[in-house]
Structure 1
């Protein structure tokens, strides 16, 4: 249901540059950086797999619209445990989710370095 609520993802954004490596399903993620020393970062994403699209929605809810420093401090694995999702993910999906989190945190780190 969460995945169905994601806004449409533009076809032109389904590029190799936006593809998240390490995911079995195809996952695309875009990053929009705000202004300032600790910019607010907005993410959009999509997947070709229904369940993974729901995981993308959870990651966007957790990270998008936060400052780069908040993103760096957010423990996604702890949040997934709190939600009870860690028990229900296959090892492949868990690895894909970690790849998504790694990409998000890398983008946040890059945004902080650009202003330093």
Structure 2
């Protein structure tokens, strides 16, 4: 569903039927203030970008709201876990590297050998 920020997110739910304005993030879920979800968090949330870049069925995303800068600014913090290899994923956009091999061009590794030799 399209978030208030205009991006597609599989975890956002909005009920606008007959004038209702119910919006929620089903990934973060209900939390007590001040760590609760608000629609303004969708502008900087990395989850839509992660789900667009990585569609691995083994990737499990966890998110929570964290407060930064003296507790005035809230951001969404995302962590990911691969169920296939049972390890934390450092870069959820790319993946763990075991389910889908990562091309060398993404890892910034250059091959110094010349294939014509």
TM-score, reference length from structure 1:
0.28
**Bigger strand fraction:** 2
**Which protein is bigger by CA-based radius of gyration?**
2
Work out which structure has the larger RCO, using CA pairs closer than 8 Å and 6 or more positions apart in sequence: 1
**Bigger helix fraction:** 1
TM-score, reference length from structure 2:
0.28
